[in-house]
Amino acid sequence: MISQETLRDFFDSRPARLSLFILGILLMILTPFVAILPGPGGIFVFGAGLALTLRNSDWAKRRYVAFKRWQPRAGAWADWGLRRGSHLRREARRKAEERAQAPAPHEVERIDDPLPHSGIEVAPIDPTPGELVPATPAGGEPKR
C-alpha cells in the first residue's frame, strides 16, 4: 500500500508535474473537439485541463493572476469553479468589510410601505411603550 506522503512526494516531483502540465494543456486543446459531441462534456474537459495546468505550472499561475486583474469578474467565477482557497479567503474578507461598513440595524430607517401605490394596505407599526396612550372607558376618564 502506498502511503499518502509517498504519493504526495511523487506528484511534487518535477517529471510528474511536467507530465500533468502537458496533460492539462492537451485537455484544453481537446476541448473544442469534445464540445462538438452532444452534452456539456467540453466544459468539464476544459475545467480539468485548466485545473491541472494551474496546479502544476508557475508560469500558468502568473498568467492566470494577470487575467484576473484584467477581468476580475471572470476570474472570480473561475476561482469559484476551481474551489480555490484564495477565492474563499477573498469572499470572506469582502463579506467582513460589508458588515463593518453597514449601519447598525437600529440606525436603518424603517419603510412603512414597501410597495407604495400597489393598493395593498400595510399594517401600522406597533408603537413603542412610550407612545402608548391608555384607552378611555365608555363612561368617563381613564383609570390610573
Using one digit for the tens of pLDDT, what is the confidence trace for 15-33? 899 999 999 999 999 999 9
User: What would the mean pLDDT of 88-109 be, rounded to a whole number?
Assistant: 83
d(C-alpha 59, C-alpha 64), whole Å: 9
68 and 43 housed in the same domain = no
d(C-alpha 20, C-alpha 49), whole Å: 9
d(C-alpha 69, C-alpha 140), whole Å: 76
70 and 84 housed in the same domain = yes
- Which of 22-26, 45-49, 71-75, 83-87 comes out lowest in average pLDDT? 83-87
In a domain, 94, yes or no: yes
89: left (phi over 0), alpha (psi -120 to 50) or beta: alpha
73 and 50 housed in the same domain = no
In a domain, 109, yes or no: no
Long-range contacts of residues 39-47, Cβ cutoff 8 Å, at least 24 apart: 47/81, 47/82
For residue 109 the three cell numbers come to 430607517
62 and 92 housed in the same domain = yes
Q: What residues make up the domain containing 90? A: 58-100
In a domain, 5, yes or no: no
In a domain, 50, yes or no: yes
In a domain, 95, yes or no: yes
pLDDT at res. 28: 92
66 and 91 housed in the same domain = yes
Task: Please give the biggest Cα pair distance in the chain.
Answer: 98
118 confidence band (pLDDT: 50, 70, 90): low
In a domain, 88, yes or no: yes
Let me know: does 75 contact 50? Beta carbons within 8 Å: no
Domain count, the chain: 2
**Among 81, 80, 71, 72, CA closest to 49:** 81
% of the chain exceeding 90 in pLDDT: 14
Torsion sign (Cα): 103, 89, 44, 74: positive
In a domain, 70, yes or no: yes
In a domain, 119, yes or no: no
Q: Tens digits of per-residue pLDDT, 29-69?
A: 999 998 888 888 888 898 889 889 988 888 988 998 898 88
7 confidence band (pLDDT: 50, 70, 90): confident
Indicate yes or no: pTM above 0.85: no
18 and 47 housed in the same domain = yes
pLDDT at 130 over 70: no
